[in-house]
Structure 1
Amino acid sequence: MKHILRILIALVFIASGFVKAVDAIGFSFKLEEYFSPTVFNMPFFEKQALPIAIFVVVIELVFGFMLLLRMRLKLTLTVLIALCVFFAFLTFYSAYFNVVTDCGCFGDAIKFTPWQSFWKDIILLVGLLILWMLYRNELNQPEEKSSFKKYASAFAFLTMVFVINWGISHEPLIDFRHYKIGTDLNAEKAKIAKNPSEYKTFYSLKNEKTGEVLDVNQDEYVNKEEYWKEGSPWKIEEGKTTSKIVKQGYESEIAKFKPETAEGMDLTEEILQAPKAVLVFSYDPKNADKDLIAKTEAKVKNLKDATVFGISTDPNTFTQIQNGMMDGTAIKTIARSNPFVLTLQNGKITDKLSAKDYLKK
């Protein structure tokens, strides 16, 4: 019983660590949300998000693997319990205050709501505490030397370093995102149009006589004369009108793919209908390598058979090819490199490379 529980919990930590190791930059973006002014207001840590992300991933993988092999059990359980307490606090805070909508626990592979993430952390924490009780008589026993454990640990460590480094230097080895190679953006947009999410406006109404406050959607407000007729005690509270989803439609990050000119002209259809389109993206042009951008522009501008655009958050990023603009967060969902090159054929993604790798082609 205790061995099965230990293996299951270890595999959860290894799986969680692995999908974040594959895309450490993506996990660092999630940490930036936590450190932002609207959440914990820790701007210094925003700049250190990637090193912190790597540290968390290493902790999860190393100690998850140690738990699997039952190595240094007391230290391993102590660290994993502390990690669960820390993440339970983060997920509870984001769920209760509705500030981070996805914890990034399993990267882009499995999406959890904040409350789902919180209860997942609580279940893991309870499981670890049970393991502590079940193994309490073995926690201080001398570690058995094993060649298998030594070589397995070395192999796992080298694999972890390779996977993390590849994802940072190039692009993630495994692409869990909606923009993976082979995705047809036209087909995805058609699914979104066929089954869109529906939203309604909700008014916060306060009764000036009783002080009662109601949250009323737009239809209720129109249909009930008592809320708006002359002399009604119900008044709309300024600044508290919200838009809420009432029907969840087809979900896809492709909905955010809306490049446009600085003047606001939509470029989406031109790009998706082109036989071939090559797009150079930069989500943070101020901190991107200017020489690398220039060399990438020089290469793509000579493509005779392709529609070419440079797309970033600044209308003056590119000097040799036509500029387009898109939200920085939306660009980050496509690829992690800054800059990177996306190739489409009739709206279908056929290639996605960091600019450095594209120049080596």
Structure 2
Amino acid sequence: MKIITHICRLIVGVLFILSGFVKLVDPMGFSFKLEEYFSEPVLNIPFFEPYSLPIAIVVVIFEFLVGVMLLVGFKRKFTLWSLLVMIVFFTGLTLYSAVTGKVTDCGCFGDAVKLTPWETFWKDVTLLVLILVLFAGAKYIKPLWSKKFAFRFSVVTLICCVVLCNYVLSHLPIIDFRPYKVGTVIREGMEMPESITEFLWKFNVNGEEKVIKTMGQYPDVDGEYISVETNILVDGGIPPIHDFTMEDENGEDHVEEMLDEPKLIVMVSYNLYSASDEGLKAIKEATDKAIKAGYKVIAMTSALPETANEYKENYGFNFEFYISDPTMLKTMIRSNPGLIKIESGVIKQKLHYNDASDLEL
């Protein structure tokens, strides 16, 4: 039982640390996922939406911290009960997502690992079983080296989590798991993944039904064709970048045109109304320099043309605004507003508005 307890302790602790870390480096992304859960179509508790970010920060730090506390053996009872409460809550939530299909990705591993709702549910059920084993073998969970070490290590972990969280919110995620990370060739990300399909051709050959398998080509058969069935052996799914649009006020898409630009700077704001005033001013200064340096500058936002024109006038932006999907814009960059430098369709630099002056021209 002692060995089983320590194995479960290691598995649970590491999984909580990994799950917490991938969200800790991008708490804004997790807050967007919470907004989705809080929305009317899902849990119908929209009054929580304005508090999505602080809730996300508390959850990811606590998730990471209890994983560490379990491994170092600090506050055994508090840690075990915290783990149990969290996993029971998440199991219920993921079961709801799986049954209703209202949320297709729980976000438990951020953008690093995508799991279906049912995969997430069974992962949580497995963790629940392991945590119950830990309760059964609780007497074997003791502090590493000493209680003083376990306490100090836990405190240092908490401080590091707070510092890291503050840094990524003031700049950008230190690790980018999204399809718009620096170095991405946007056109390649838009290509449809290849699927492998098997064709089952039915023919009447000399009075007998015969089935011939091919990978798409029409078989060379001396007989009468009856029908064909298809089986998808490998589903390529959807491309990583499947919603990249850039429409003007007339509804014309300018994606191809912009991806051909050798020197393009894009201001991204998923919501102009909630965009930082200081951030917009900082980006105005940076984009003025970019225009003087020969760059083409545009903006991508979800705002309607009349709203965009209002902000253009108020801040003196002398470049075109294009309409894009807000979810895509949130995925592109976690700063509102933010800057992205693109050269011939390749993402070269991404900047939080706090770092707008670092734009490389």
TM-score class, shorter: 0.7 to 0.9
Structure 1 unaligned spans of 5+? 199-244
Give percent identity, aligned residues only.
Answer: 39
Inter-partner Cα distance in structure 2 for 1:246 and 1:28: 36
Inter-partner Cα distance in structure 2 for 1:297 and 1:91: 43
Deviation readout 1:231-287 (Å, 9 max, x if unpaired): xxxxxxxxxxxxxx9984353342211111121111101111111110001001111
| Aligned pairs (5 A) from 1:301-320 | 301-302=288-289, 303=291, 304-314=293-303, 315=305, 316-317=307-308, 318-319=311-312, 320=317
* Equivalent of residue 16 in structure 2, options 2, 7, 13: 13
Q: Please tell me the residue identity of whatever aligns with 2:21.
A: F
Which residue does the alignment assign to 1:336? Answer: 334
Would the alpha carbon gap of residues 297 and 270 (structure 1) be closer, same or farther in structure 2, given more than 3 Å must change? farther
State the 1:298 CA deviation: 4.2
Determine helix, strand or coil for the equivalent of 1:105: coil
Asked if 1:43 corresponds to 2:46, the answer is yes
Determine helix, strand or coil for the equivalent of 1:111: coil
Which residue does the alignment assign to 2:92? Answer: 89
Which residue does the alignment assign to 2:112? Answer: 109
Inter-partner Cα distance in structure 1 for 2:140 and 2:241: 52
Inter-partner Cα distance in structure 1 for 2:177 and 2:170: 17
Deviation readout 1:179-238 (Å, 9 max, x if unpaired): 11111112222x32x64899xxxxxxxxxxxxxxxxxxxxxxxxxxxxxxxxxxxxxxxx
State the 1:169 CA deviation: 1.1
* Equivalent of residue 258 in structure 1, options 215, 220, 245: 245
Determine helix, strand or coil for the equivalent of 2:184: coil
Inter-partner Cα distance in structure 1 for 2:260 and 2:77: 59
Would the alpha carbon gap of residues 360 and 181 (structure 1) be closer, same or farther in structure 2, given more than 3 Å must change? closer
Q: Please tell me the residue identity of whatever aligns with 1:152.
A: F
State the 1:61 CA deviation: 1.2
Inter-partner Cα distance in structure 2 for 1:297 and 1:350: 20
State the 1:332 CA deviation: 0.5
Would the alpha carbon gap of residues 72 and 284 (structure 1) be closer, same or farther in structure 2, given more than 3 Å must change? same
Normalised to the residue count of structure 2, the TM-score between the two structures is 0.80
Would the alpha carbon gap of residues 298 and 263 (structure 1) be closer, same or farther in structure 2, given more than 3 Å must change? farther
Q: Please tell me the residue identity of whatever aligns with 1:329.
A: T
Decide whether the 8 Å contact of 2:31 with 2:56 is kept in 1.
Answer: yes
State the 1:329 CA deviation: 0.6
Decide whether the 8 Å contact of 1:282 with 1:288 is kept in 2.
Answer: yes
Which residue does the alignment assign to 1:300? Answer: 287
Q: Please tell me the residue identity of whatever aligns with 1:167.
A: V
Decide whether the 8 Å contact of 2:258 with 2:345 is kept in 1.
Answer: yes
Would the alpha carbon gap of residues 197 and 36 (structure 1) be closer, same or farther in structure 2, given more than 3 Å must change? farther
Normalised to the residue count of structure 1, the TM-score between the two structures is 0.80
Would the alpha carbon gap of residues 59 and 179 (structure 1) be closer, same or farther in structure 2, given more than 3 Å must change? same
Q: Please tell me the residue identity of whatever aligns with 1:262.
A: E
Inter-partner Cα distance in structure 2 for 1:82 and 1:132: 13
Determine helix, strand or coil for the equivalent of 1:333: helix
* Equivalent of residue 256 in structure 2, options 266, 269, 279: 269
Decide whether the 8 Å contact of 2:72 with 2:143 is kept in 1.
Answer: no
Asked if 1:359 corresponds to 2:346, the answer is no
Inter-partner Cα distance in structure 2 for 1:32 and 1:286: 17
| Aligned pairs (5 A) from 1:105-184 | 105-135=108-138, 137=139, 145-184=146-185
Asked if 1:324 corresponds to 2:325, the answer is no
State the 1:155 CA deviation: 2.9
Give the superposed CA RMSD: 2.4
State the 1:143 CA deviation: 10
Inter-partner Cα distance in structure 1 for 2:196 and 2:42: 27
Which residue does the alignment assign to 2:211? Answer: none
Decide whether the 8 Å contact of 1:283 with 1:332 is kept in 2.
Answer: yes
Deviation readout 1:39-94 (Å, 9 max, x if unpaired): 11111111111111111112211111110111121111111011000000110001
Which residue does the alignment assign to 2:271? Answer: 284
Number of residue pairs aligned between Structure 1 and Structure 2 = 311
Deviation readout 1:271-328 (Å, 9 max, x if unpaired): 1111111000100111112453244134314424222111101123351211111010
State the 1:7 CA deviation: 1.2
Which residue does the alignment assign to 1:31? Answer: 34
Determine helix, strand or coil for the equivalent of 2:114: coil
